[in-house]
């Protein structure tokens, strides 16, 4: 009779031979294998929805005196009715030719219905957003703000992965109506589509 014991960093077991052609295997009745590293967390939070309070976070923009400002979203939206509409990228075709012009064109009408602020939001740096805003000389009411690192987009749960197009992680197209920090309308597109987040869609909800 012979016995062979195998020891590992996790557990040990034995092989016992009763004869030249008989081998028995003895294993522990309970086996626990510890993972050295946790499973990675999910990449984003649940998308913002009606009834949610908008998360606080920092965004940047150039003010009317051409000074760079970095402020909290809550400081802009507290006690106000605000439209926050997001686009996948500055200077991109649908954003530049349809989404933004619609809000500029309807700004007076939106404000007549009680909207205090109209904010265009994108994962771009504030210098790009400033340059983009200057391409609309007729604009009087839409504020172009930047989420340069995409951190606020993550808080909203509205990331859009455009790495295959060389654009990194951007924001999905969306339009939120926020009343004193609470979301009352959340029109979020699938990817970069443009079907439910226009200025007209927000007007219908006011």
So which residues are the catalytic ones? 95
Q: Which 3-state string (H, E, C) describes the chain?
A: CEEEEEECCCCEEEEEEEECCEEEEECCCCCCCCCCCCCCCCCCCCCCCCCCECCCCEEEEECCCCCEEEEEHHHHHCCCEEEEEEECCCCCHHHHHHHHHHHHHCHHHHHHCCCCEEEEEECCCHHHHHHHHCCCCCCCCEEEEECCCCHHHHHHCCEEECHHHCCCEEECCEEEEEECCEEEEEEECCCCCCCCCCHHHHHHHC
- Backbone dihedral region of 159: left (phi > 0), alpha (psi from -120 to 50 degrees) or beta? beta
Closest CA relative to residue 12, chosen from 27, 24, 25: 27
């Amino acid at each position: 009779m012979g016995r062979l014991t195998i020891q590992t960093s996790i557990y040990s077991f034995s092989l016992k031979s009763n004869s030249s052609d008989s081998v028995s295997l003895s294993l522990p009745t309970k086996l626990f294998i510890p993972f050295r590293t946790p499973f990675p967390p999910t990449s984003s939070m649940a998308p913002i929805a009606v009834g949610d309070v908008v998360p606080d976070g920092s965004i940047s923009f150039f003010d009317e005196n051409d000074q760079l400002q970095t402020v909290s979203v809550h400081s802009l939206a507290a006690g106000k009715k605000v439209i926050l509409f997001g686009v996948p990228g500055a200077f991109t075709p649908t954003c530049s030719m349809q989404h933004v012009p619609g809000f500029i064109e309807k700004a007076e009408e939106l404000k007549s219905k009680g909207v205090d602020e109209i904010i265009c939001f994108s994962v771009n740096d504030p210098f790009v957003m400033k340059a983009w805003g200057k391409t609309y000389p007729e604009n009087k009411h839409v504020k172009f703000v930047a989420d340069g690192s995409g951190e606020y987009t993550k808080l909203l749960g509205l990331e859009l992965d455009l790495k295959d197009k060389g654009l990194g992680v951007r924001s999905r197209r969306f339009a939120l109506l926020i009343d004193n920090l609470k979301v009352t309308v959340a029109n979020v597109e699938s990817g970069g589509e443009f079907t439910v987040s226009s200025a007209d869609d927000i007007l219908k909800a006011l």
